Amino acid sequence: MHFKRFLCSATANRRRHPHRPQPAVKQVAKSNFSEALSDIKARITDSDFIAVSLQKTGGHSAPWQRTIPIDTAETAYLKSKRAADRFQILQFSVCPFSVRDSKLITHPYNFHLFPRDELKIGMPSYSFSFQSSYLTSMAGEGFDFNACIINGISYLSRAQESAARARFGHLSKVSNPGEPLSAHSVADSLFTQRIQSRVKSWIKTCKNSNKTEDALISALRKIVSGSEVYGDRPSLTIDICSERQVQLALDAMKEFSDVVPLRQQAPVKGGSVQVVRAVLTSSEEDKNLLEKEIESKEQEQRLQVLGFREVIELISASEKPVVAHNSLNDFTFIHSKFLAPLPPTMDEFTTTLHSVFPYIIDLNHLMKEIGAFEKMNNISGAISYLESRFSAPITMEISNREDAGEVDVYGHIVLKVCRLFLILCSILKISLEAPEGQSRQLSHSLHRYTDMLYPCSTNSTDPDADNVRISTGNSRIVTTDNIVFLWGFKGGLSARGLKDLLCDSHDVFSEHFDVRMISRTCAVVVFWTPGFSERFLRIMDSGDTFSGKFRDMISVGLRSSSYEMYRKVCESGSWKSDLAECLDQAIDETENISEAKSEDKKSVIYWNEDDTINFDDL
C-alpha cells in the first residue's frame, strides 16, 4: 500500500520537499509542449551552449555491467548500448545557456516523456525495463508516474518516422519547386507534355462543371478527367515512378498559376508510392488561404510524428556545443531513442553522432584535468570539492523563474551541469569566446575537449587506440593482452589474499604482477612482464601442477581466460548478474580459447596501483 501511494499524484505533490529551495525549471508535458517548443527554439538560437541531463528507468543491473577500470572504449560502449536498448528516458532536461562576464545566463526546461502509439498505426511497439532501485528512488523523490504516463510527450526516432510515413502517407506543399531540370531527354519531354495536357484538360473540366449542365454528364466528365476533391477544392492525383518524374511534373505545373502542387507519399500494400497532387484554387486569395492551411496541417502532423524529437532536431540544427556529465551513457540513449537503433561498434556510433551533434563536451574529461578525480564522482560532489578549493565565484541567472509552474523540483541537475562547466572552464582558464568573425567555432582551448565520447578512464590523447584511463593519479599503461581473468573461487577472498596465493603457486608469478577484484567471485591479474599472461594461460590449459592452496582452488573449479573472452561476454546478448557465469558460458561456446584470435590493434588501458573497486559504491 505504501508503495502504491508513491505512484499517485496526490502523494507526489506532498513529497516535493517544499522546505528545500530548488532552482526554478520550466516543466513541459504534452499539454504545454507546443507553447514551450517555440520558446525553447528562440532560447537555443540566442544561447552559446546547451546542457542536457537525462532521467532514465534504469542503467546497469549488476556492478560489472557498469563501466569499470578494465574496460576499453569498445567494451564500455557495448555496456552503454545494452542499457540504452533496455531502458527508457522519462525526463529530458535541456538548458540553453550563455556566459557573460562570469555570469551564467540559463534557460532550463524539463521535458516529461512517455513513448506511446500516438498515430494509432501499431508502431512503434515500445517495451522497456524499469530497474527497481531507480523506480524506488524516483518514487521517494515524489515523481508523479501517473502524470508521466498520461501527459508525457511521445516521439518517434528518425528511423521510425521514415517507416511511419510509409505506413500512413505524407503530404507536403512544394514551397519552392526549384530551377527547371536541364538536359531533357525525349522521354522527359513527352512526359512533361502529357502532364501539361492532362492538367489543362482537368482544369477545363472543373471550370465547365460550374456552368449549368446535366449532373450525370458533369459527373462523367470528372471521372474521365480523374478529378478528386481536396477539402472543398478540386484536385488531381498524378502517379509517379521516380524522383525525376516528380521534378518533371512540378516543372510542368508552373504553367498554371491557379494550381497548388503537393507532394505526397501514399500508402500501398507493402510500402508507399510517391504521387504529385494538383489542387485548383478559385483566386489568388483562395490560393494563399490554401497554402496557409497546408502549412498548418504540416506543422500539426510534424509535431504529432516527431513529438519531443523536435527538440532534438532544434539542438542538432543549431550546431551549438552540447554539454553533458556522462556523454557515452547519455548519447547512447539519445541515439537509440531519437535517431536509430545503435550500431554494433563504437566507431559507427561516433561517426553517426558527430553528424548530428558536431560538438559534445563531457564534464568528466574536464574534471580529470583538475586532479583528485576519484573524489568527484558526481556533479554535486564535484561542485562542492572545487568551490572549497578554488576561488571561482559564479552568479546564475534563471530566465524561467517567474513561469516555472508549481512543479519545479525536477530537472535541476541540468543547472548543476551548467554551473560545473563554468567552474571547470574558469579553473582551467579555458576561453569561452568564439574566434573573431567565427561565431559558430569554438576557442582552441575548448575545442580540444569536444567529442570525447569514450569513458573518462580511456586515454584522451589517442581514442583510436581503444584504451582507458583509471585515474589521473599513479597510472600505468597496460595492454589487454597482459590481463587474465580468474573466477570460480569462493566469495570473501581479497585481492591481497589472492595475490599471496598466486605468489606461492608457480614461478610464472616471480615477476611483478597485480590483482584486482571485479566481483566477489571474479578477479583480474595484470602481468607487467610481456608474455607472462600467455604463459600462465598455457600452463592452466596444459594441466601443469601449481602448488599450495591455489592448486586446491583449481581442483574445485577455478577457471581462467584472456581479455578476449571478456570482450566476447560484452558482445553477447545474454548477460547475467554474475560475471563468472557469463565467462563460463563464453568459454563453453568457444572451442579453442587459447587460439582465440586477438584484434589486429593492441588494446591499451591505464592501470592505477592504488585503484580499487568499492562494492559499497556500486
Q: Do residues 429 and 506 both lie within one domain?
A: no
Name every residue whose Cβ is closer than 8 Å to that of residue 10 and which is 6 or more positions away in sequence: none
Q: What is the pLDDT of residue 467?
A: 46
Confidence of residue 293 (pLDDT cuts 50, 70, 90): confident
Indicate whether 460 belongs to any domain: no
pLDDT higher than threshold 90 for residue 97: yes
Q: How far is Cα 368 from Cα 503, in angstroms, rounded to an integer?
A: 34
* pLDDT grade for 409, boundaries at 50, 70 and 90: low
- Considering the domain architecture, whether residues 381 and 343 belong to the same structural domain is answered as yes
450: alpha, beta or left, given left = phi > 0 and alpha = psi -120 to 50? beta
pLDDT at residue 187 greater than cutoff 70: yes
Domain count of the chain? 3
Mean pLDDT on 407-423: 85
The answer to whether residues 106 and 176 belong to one domain is no
Reported as a pLDDT band with limits 50, 70 and 90, residue 300 is confident
50-59, 391-400, 507-516: the lowest-pLDDT one: 391-400
d(CA 419, CA 424): 9
Confidence (pLDDT) at 47: 94
Q: Which residue has the higher pLDDT, 592 or 431?
A: 431
- What is the mean pLDDT of the segment spanning 3-23? 47
Q: In which band, very low, low, confident or very high, does the pLDDT at 436 lie, cut at 50, 70 and 90? A: low
Give the CA diameter of the chain.
110
- Amino acid 169: pLDDT: 59
Asked if residue 594 has pLDDT above 50, the reply is no
Cα three-residue angle 539-543-548, rounded to 5 degrees: 85
State the pLDDT at residue 15: 46
pLDDT of residue 573: 74
361 and 383 part of one domain: yes
Q: What's residue 471's pLDDT? A: 39
Q: What is the mean pLDDT of residues 234-263?
A: 85
For residues 102 and 393, is the Cβ–Cβ distance under 8 A?
yes
Which segments of 390-508 does DSSP mark as H helices, in order?
413-427, 444-447, 495-503
| Whether residue 260 is found in the same domain as residue 350 | no
139 lies in the same domain as 203:
no
**Distant-in-sequence, close-in-space partners of 591: CB < 8 Å, separation ≥ 6:** none
Which alpha helices (DSSP H) does 56-157 contain, by range? 73-86, 132-140, 145-151
Q: Return the pLDDT at 12.
A: 47
Calpha distance 144→6 (Å, rounded)? 8
Residue 590 pLDDT more than 80?
A: no
Residue 9 lies in a domain: no
Q: Say if residue 290 is in the same domain as residue 328.
A: no
Domain finish residue from 447, 482, 513: 447
More confident residue, 226 or 492: 492
For residue 266, what pLDDT is reported?
64
Task: Tell me: do 487 and 511 sit in the same domain.
Answer: yes
Whether 278 and 328 share a structural domain: no
Task: Using the predicted structure, report yes or no on whether residue 121 has a pLDDT greater than 50.
Answer: yes
| Residue of 612, 90, 36 whose CA lies nearest to 337 | 90
Angle at which helix 243-253 crosses helix 186-208, to 10 degrees, equals: 50
- Residue 579 pLDDT: 92
Three-state DSSP at 278 gives: strand
Dump pLDDT digits (tens) for 191-229: 888 988 888 888 888 877 655 555 555 555 555 555 677
Reported as a single tens digit per residue, the pLDDT across 529-540 is: 999 999 999 998
Concatenated DSSP letters for 485-521? EEE-PPTT--HHHHHHHHHTT-GGGSS-EEEEEEETT
pLDDT at 96 over 70: yes
Q: Is the pLDDT of residue 87 over 70?
A: yes
- Residue 71 covered by a domain: yes
Nearest-angstrom CA–CA distance, 497 and 509: 14
Is residue 457 a part of any domain in this protein? no
**Which among 18-32, 106-120, 305-319 has the top mean pLDDT?**
305-319
Does residue 267 sit within a domain? yes
Q: With contact defined as beta carbons under 8 Å apart, do 75 and 566 qualify?
A: yes
Contacts of 410 (CB under 8 A, 6+ apart): 25, 27, 55, 91, 93, 110, 112, 143
Q: What is the structure's pLDDT at 403?
A: 53
Find the length of the chain.
618
Average pLDDT, integer, range 540-545? 80
We report the CATH number of the domain holding residue 62 as 3.30.420.10
pLDDT at 168: 62
- 524, 518 contact by CB (below 8 A): yes
Q: Which of 253, 288, 306 is the last residue of a domain?
A: 306
Does residue 591 lie in a domain region? Answer: yes
- 284: domain range? 170-306
Task: State the amino acid at position 403 in one-letter form.
Answer: D
Q: What is the pLDDT of residue 107?
A: 96
* Residue 407 clears pLDDT 60, i.e. is over it: no
Q: Does a structural domain hold residue 13?
A: no
Return mean pLDDT, the chain. Answer: 80
603/482 same-domain check = yes
**What's the average model confidence in pLDDT over 480-492?**
89
Residue at 143 is within a domain: yes
Q: Which domain-ending residue is among 306, 334, 349?
A: 306
Highest mean pLDDT among 39-48, 191-200, 251-260 belongs to 39-48
Same domain, 367 and 437: yes
CA angle 166, 172, 175 (to 5 degrees): 150
Q: Which of the two residues, 458 and 63, has the higher pLDDT score? A: 63
Least confident of 44-48, 107-111, 153-157, 368-372: 368-372
Q: What's the mean pLDDT in 431-453?
A: 76
Does residue 380 sit in the same domain as residue 416?
A: yes
pLDDT band at 324 (very low <50, low <70, confident <90, very high): very high
